[in-house]
Amino acid sequence: MNMRTIYDLPLSKAEEMLAGYGQKPYRAKQLYNWLYRKRALSFAEMSDLPAALTQQLAEVYCTMPVTLLDKQVARDRTAKYLFELSDGSTIETVLMHFNFGKSVCVSSQVGCNMGCAFCASGLLKKQRDLTAGEMVGQIMYIQKELDAEGERVDNVVVMGTGEPFDNYDNVLDFCSIINSDHGLSIGARHITISTCGIVPSIRRFAEGHYQYNLAISLHAPNDELRRELMPVDRAYPLDELMDALRSYSEDNHRRLTFEYILLKGVNDSDEHAVQLADLIRGMNAYVNLIPYNEVDENGFKTTDERTSLRFYDLIMKHGVKATLRSKHGDDIDAACGQLRARHERNRE
């Protein structure tokens, strides 16, 4: 059955919805308490809400919008979840255990249309946007698992399948729901949205003065190469992108993260490192160098460790801060979209 999930509603929209049932605004906080603090999965157990109301809600809304189809756990405990949605679509979510806490990587769309050459998500075109509640569901499913261990989701990154800034309103609703003090209260600085560089959405985000972190998938320091790897560069070339990012970062006093996957022989030369440093130097930003998770279908290879370190040293020497990320879950289908792509192939 295709029911809406109650997780779709930010607190203000929950208040409006409940007003439609003749309820006072404080009822929305009670509802949030049941959903996000007590992690209730049925309306019937919400004992301080009027029984007539919980019955009405149960007729219109479901709670958990995802069901588990498959789960792979790597040696380093990175866990990849394959979920099914109410319409039969499938999405992936990843849980990573860092020493600074547990991070969940959520998907924002079913498939993706950005067409980045190296990415497994793009193997399956976008079917639709996820609703805010379908993103919240990914967090709540994993949070309920972690409850058994007395643990919590500390950090959320919107870096799974999909382009969050191609689903702007739902993604921002999602952030507001998980950030709410009446719910999970995941701090805004613990929530990161990653975009391939959709300039109008970056400008809109800047105007909203949100405290969420922004990460940019750069992956190339010049338009010629970036266009080959990321079709989005044709619509929004680097000068426009950097201009929007500079004004976002300056107006909001926020530090930016640039993600840069190292692809062997493609974007990892000394010249690329210097170009990259020249592009970013002077901005309140740092570069996160990411080892590439190889995908069988496309032929891109991971840069070896020595070259990665050399690249890292060079950009640091040229005045740009960087981190070299270690690999997670590389003994499972951890690359974005890999698990789902395999599953969908098996279905055919």
Return the active site residues: 92, 336
> Considering just the CA atoms, what is the radius of gyration of the chain in Å?
21
Contact call for residues 73 and 82 (beta carbons, < 8 A):
no
Q: What does the block give as tokens for 226?
A: 């970036």
Query: What DSSP state is assigned to residue 35?
Result: I
Q: Is 233 one of the binding residues for ligand SAH (CB under 6 A)?
A: no
Q: Is 320 one of the binding residues for ligand SAH (CB under 6 A)?
A: no
Window 153-192: contact mask with ligand SAH (x via CB under 6 A): ------x---x-----------------------------
Q: Is 118 one of the binding residues for ligand SAH (CB under 6 A)?
A: yes
Q: What distance in Å separates the CA atoms of residue 95 and residue 228, rounded to the nearest whole number?
A: 31
Q: In whole angstroms, how far apart are CA 229 and each of 97, 115, 118, 221, 233? A: 30, 9, 7, 11, 9
Of 63-71, 118-126, 167-175, 322-330, the window that binds ligand SAH (rule: CB under 6 A) is 118-126
Q: Is 292 one of the binding residues for ligand SAH (CB under 6 A)?
A: yes
Q: Is 267 one of the binding residues for ligand SAH (CB under 6 A)?
A: no
Q: Is 85 one of the binding residues for ligand SAH (CB under 6 A)?
A: no
Q: What does the block give as tokens for 26?
A: 């404080």
Q: What does the block give as tokens for 311?
A: 């690249």
Of 34-42, 69-77, 137-145, 291-299, the window that binds ligand SAH (rule: CB under 6 A) is 291-299
Q: Is 134 one of the binding residues for ligand SAH (CB under 6 A)?
A: no
Smallest separation (angstroms) from ligand SAH to the CB of 196: 3
Q: Is 339 one of the binding residues for ligand SAH (CB under 6 A)?
A: no
Which residue's entry shows tokens 């929530």?
A: 191
Which residue's entry shows tokens 């020595």?
A: 306
Site for ligand SAH in 5-64 (CB under 6 A): none
Q: Is 295 one of the binding residues for ligand SAH (CB under 6 A)?
A: yes
Contact call for residues 161 and 337 (beta carbons, < 8 A):
yes
Q: In whole angstroms, how far apart are CA 198 and each of 9, 72, 218, 231, 286? A: 25, 32, 12, 11, 20
From 96, 82, 71, select the one nearest 328 (Cα to Cα).
96
Q: Is 195 one of the binding residues for ligand SAH (CB under 6 A)?
A: yes
Which parts of this chain interact with ligand SAH (CB under 6 A)? Answer: 114, 116, 118-120, 159, 163, 194-196, 217, 219, 259, 261, 290, 292-293, 295, 335-336
